[in-house]
């Protein structure tokens, strides 16, 4: 492989200007059974086919190819503070378990190209199922565990799985969350009926088995202990999985990922973005129901020959030091979490951050929500390691914007996720005219010129028209991929994300990004967390409304104290952003409503503020948070 250029700007430029040569080099990071005959086929924009003619296997590259050098190294460590269990699997043991799962799936009728829906908690068997699917060429579709029956049913109908892999229950905060009744109801609701359900019984909740359809994992595993299931060599363009984007309304939108492009993209990201080495340890605190879990709990770290940690539990249970104790015990080198989780930890006793030896940790990467400067500054000082933001989407599968320190060490700028990642031809586009904005600090839509790099979505599952109309036709006069986010870029190429284009507040003709107002309010010393939404207003079209969690609410004992504090916050916005950005109200709450993965439910807040139905919120972490806000709003 050619040596990397001396600086990142040259590296990125080459990935765009010499696209095929660049990605041919990255393709050498994985093993192919048949080398690609064409690097990129972009004959039918915006559909890109990567590494055409090549055959490979994602499971082979993640597991099998490491057996010769690191069979006895830990590959997967499954930790649950919910059930007080911990189990490490070496690459050799993982290889055996994945083959057992693959043999069981085949015994239930799964063939190459069939779909397998995975509705699981964060347990090792979920990883076995994902890897087993890609091993035999089945297409997995992971649905977040505990998802509501009606929403799960719509995904079953869209994916049409041959088999569903599930469990009796998950657990959250020490409370069991039964999955089997939700699954049974979803199958009853769905027009498509799977041939079989494979159930992992954890002993957490009763799980009535339906004769002829439901099968016990432990019993079938016992029958296939010595299974030898070879990897199926797949065309690079063969789908590896579909993943339904969160917050979908109406018909689910299944992001379809390929095999070869995704494997190359993740392998390259481990090298160039994370500067990862085989034998190191990666700890991503997400869930396999989200894309971060696919890319950086399961596939990315294993492709790099690392140990990956799979965690079921909260960041504060049994106490706020649990994550750092894991870092110490397993000598974690790379950690990936979300800003919202850091904000939770920020409210805890700071002694937990100094209680454990975390010198092995090289950096903390954060994504999923915008990283505000106060949070970044706090965690940076607390951990004394680089805090690296990154911005991407379910659709892209790996970061669009971040710092590629594996190519060249670069300094983060708090408030910015970083620069355009190699392979992404990122532009800022004027939404009205379609013109590219090249002057620093101009606000525009963050867009990507086609072709999207390897690893991004091929299309929407069974709906090419929706793929084109949703992502490529939203900007007049141009066919570019829209992220639907506003952003600016400074003179040095650092991007700053200002919020969703459909969450921009239009106040009396002034367009305001919710992120800008949130950053300003979060800078107040007594604000721990804040969400700003646009609320319909008869006079101004929209007004900003802020929902804020005070660090210390002891002084807010009556309406007068709350009004005084609200005035302080508004004054801060006035002084930093101007009166036009001042929220109409600042509502002080104990908690903000979030999904179980930590994403703020801004649309739910907006619905409550506008006294509309909040819709399906079955993925909420704490329903009490939203109810409190409803009560406050009257």
Query: 543-567, pLDDT tens digit by residue?
Result: 899 999 999 988 888 889 999 999 9
SS3 357: coil
What is the C-alpha to C-alpha distance for residues 323 and 81, in angstroms, rounded to an integer?
A: 10
pLDDT average, residue stretch 509-532: 84
Model confidence over 120-135: pLDDT tens digits? Answer: 999 999 999 999 999 9
Give the DSSP letter string of 74-136: EEEEEEETTTTEEEEEEHHHHHHHHHHHHHHHHHTT--TT-EEEEE--SSHHHHHHHHHHHHH
Nearest to 573 by CA among 543, 603, 541: 543
* Angular region, 252: left φ>0, alpha ψ -120 to 50, beta rest: beta
Q: How far apart are CA 403 and CA 587, in angstroms?
A: 36
Q: Are strands 196-200 and 163-167 parallel, antiparallel or unpaired?
A: parallel
* Site of tokens 């041959």: 162
- Determine how many CB atoms are found less than 10 A away from the CB of residue 610: 14
d(C-alpha 277, C-alpha 287), whole Å: 23
pLDDT of residue 265: 98
CA 522 to chain centre: 24
Question: What is the Cα–Cα distance from 105 to 196, expressed in whole angstroms?
Answer: 9
Give the strand pairing for 419-420 and 444-449.
unpaired
Name which of 426, 422, 414 is nearest 9 in CA terms: 422
Which position has the token pair 């590219």?
436
pLDDT band for position 305 (cuts 50, 70, 90): very high
Residue 619: what pLDDT? 53
User: Does residue 554 sit in helix, strand or coil?
Assistant: coil
- 228 by Cβ neighbours in 10 Å (0-12 / 13-18 / 19+) ranks as exposed
- Asked whether the beta carbons of 215 and 187 are under 8 A apart, the reply is no
Per-residue pLDDT of 321-378, as tens digits, reads: 999 999 999 999 999 998 888 888 988 888 998 899 999 999 999 987 778 788 888 9
Peptide bond into 451 cis (omega under 30): yes
Residue 203, C-beta contacts closer than 8 angstroms, at least 6 positions apart:
168
Question: Mean pLDDT in the chain?
Answer: 91
The tokens describing 395, both together, are 């659709």
Whole-number pLDDT of residue 6: 63
Closest CA to 311 of 296, 377, 481: 296
pLDDT in tens, 147-205: 778 889 989 999 999 999 999 999 988 999 999 999 999 999 999 999 999 999 999 99
Answer whether residue 276 shows pLDDT above 50.
yes
pLDDT of the residue at 144: 85
- The pLDDT score that the predictor gives to residue 504 is 63
Strand, coil or helix: what is 103?
helix
Confidence of residue 596 (pLDDT cuts 50, 70, 90): low
**Would you state the pLDDT for residue 618?**
52
In the chain, the percentage of residues whose pLDDT exceeds 90 is 72
Lowest mean pLDDT, pick from 249-253, 553-557, 616-620: 616-620
Helix/strand/coil for 310? strand
Q: How far is CA 442 from CA 314, 403, 433, in A?
A: 40, 21, 14
pLDDT on residue 247: 37
Which residues make Cβ contacts (< 8 Å) with residue 508, sequence separation at least 6? Answer: 539, 540, 541, 580
Per the CB < 8 A criterion, the answer to whether 135 and 61 are in contact is no
Cis peptide before 46 (omega within 30 of 0): yes
Residue 332 DSSP one-character state? -
- How high is the pLDDT of residue 415? 86
Average pLDDT over residues 254-282: 98
Mean pLDDT of the region 39-65: 98
Q: Tokens 């400074």 identify what position?
A: 490
Using the predicted structure, report yes or no on whether residue 467 has a pLDDT greater than 80. yes
User: Residue 25: is it exposed, middle or buried by C-beta count within 10 angstroms (0-12/13-18/19+)?
Assistant: middle
pLDDT at 541 over 80: no
Q: Which residues pair with 152 in a beta bridge?
A: none
Section 583-602 average pLDDT: 84
- The single residue listed with the structure tokens 């993209």 is 265
Residues found in the chain: 634
DSSP H or E run through 125: helix 124-136
Residue 270 has pLDDT above 90, yes or no: yes
Domains in the chain with CATH codes: 8-313+390-484 (3.40.50.12780), 504-633 (3.30.300.30)
Confidence of residue 536 (pLDDT cuts 50, 70, 90): confident
């Amino acid at each position: 492989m050619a040596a990397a250029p001396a600086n990142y700007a040259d590296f990125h430029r080459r990935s765009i200007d010499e696209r095929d040569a660049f990605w041919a080099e990255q393709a050498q990071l994985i093993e192919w059974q048949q080398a690609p005959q064409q690097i990129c086929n972009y004959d039918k924009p915006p559909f890109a086919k990567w590494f055409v003619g090549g055959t490979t296997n994602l499971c082979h590259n993640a597991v099998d190819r490491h057996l010769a050098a690191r069979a006895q190294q830990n590959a997967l460590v499954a930790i649950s503070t919910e059930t007080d269990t911990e189990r490490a699997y070496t690459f050799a043991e993982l290889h055996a378990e994945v083959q057992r799962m693959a043999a069981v799936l085949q015994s239930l009728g799964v063939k190459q190209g069939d779909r397998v829906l995975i509705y699981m908690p964060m347990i090792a068997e979920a990883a076995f199922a994902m890897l087993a699917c890609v091993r035999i060429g089945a297409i997995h579709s992971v649905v977040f565990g505990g998802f509501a029956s009606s929403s799960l049913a719509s995904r079953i109908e869209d994916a049409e799985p041959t088999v569903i892999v599930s469990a009796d229950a998950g657990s959250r905060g020490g409370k069991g969350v039964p999955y089997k009744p939700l699954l049974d109801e979803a199958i009853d609701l769905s027009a498509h009926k799977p041939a079989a359900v494979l159930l992992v019984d954890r002993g957490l909740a009763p799980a009535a088995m339906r004769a002829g359809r439901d099968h016990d994992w432990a019993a079938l595993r016992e029958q296939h202990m010595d299974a030898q299931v070879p990897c199926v060599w797949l065309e690079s363009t063969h789908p590896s999985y579909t993943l339904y984007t969160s917050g979908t309304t109406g018909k689910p939108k299944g992001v379809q990922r390929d095999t070869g492009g995704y494997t190359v993209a993740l392998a390259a990201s481990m090298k160039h973005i994370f500067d990862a080495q085989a034998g190191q340890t990666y700890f991503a605190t997400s869930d396999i129901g989200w894309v971060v879990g696919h890319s950086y709990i399961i596939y990315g770290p294993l492709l790099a020959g690392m140990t990956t940690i799979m965690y079921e539990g909260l960041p504060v249970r049994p106490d706020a030091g649990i994550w750092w104790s894991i870092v110490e015990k397993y000598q974690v080198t790379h950690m990936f979490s979300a800003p919202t989780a850091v904000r939770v930890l920020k409210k805890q006793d700071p002694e937990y951050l100094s209680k454990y030896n975390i010198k092995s940790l090289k950096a903390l990467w954060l994504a999923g929500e915008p990283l505000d400067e106060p949070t970044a500054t706090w965690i940076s000082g607390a951990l004394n390691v680089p805090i690296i933001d990154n911005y991407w989407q379910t659709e892209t599968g790996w970061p669009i914007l971040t710092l590629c320190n594996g190519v060249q060490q670069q300094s983060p700028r708090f408030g910015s996720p970083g620069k355009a990642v190699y392979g992404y031809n990122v532009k800022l586009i004027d939404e009205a005219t379609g013109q590219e904005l090249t002057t620093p600090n101009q606000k525009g839509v963050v867009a990507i010129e086609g072709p999207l790099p390897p690893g991004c979505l091929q299309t929407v599952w069974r709906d090419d028209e929706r793929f084109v109309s949703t992502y490529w036709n939203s900007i007049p006069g141009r066919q570019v991929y829209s992220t639907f986010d506003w952003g600016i870029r400074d003179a040095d190429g650092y991007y700053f994300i200002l919020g969703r284009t459909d969450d921009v507040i239009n106040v009396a003709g002034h367009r305001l990004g919710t992120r800008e107002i949130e950053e300003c309010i979060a800078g107040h010393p007594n604000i721990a967390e804040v969400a700003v939404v646009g609320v319909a207003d008869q006079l101004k079209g929209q007004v900003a409304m802020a929902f804020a969690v005070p660090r210390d609410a002891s002084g807010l004992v009556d309406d007068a104290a709350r009004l005084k504090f609200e005035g302080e916050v508004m004054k801060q916005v006035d002084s930093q952003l101007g009166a036009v950005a001042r929220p109409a109200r600042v509502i002080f709450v104990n908690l903000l409503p979030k999904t179980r993965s930590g994403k703020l439910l801004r649309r739910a807040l907006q619905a409550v503020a506008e006294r509309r139905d909040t819709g399906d919120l079955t993925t909420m972490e704490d329903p009490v948070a939203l109810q409190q806000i409803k009560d406050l709003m009257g």
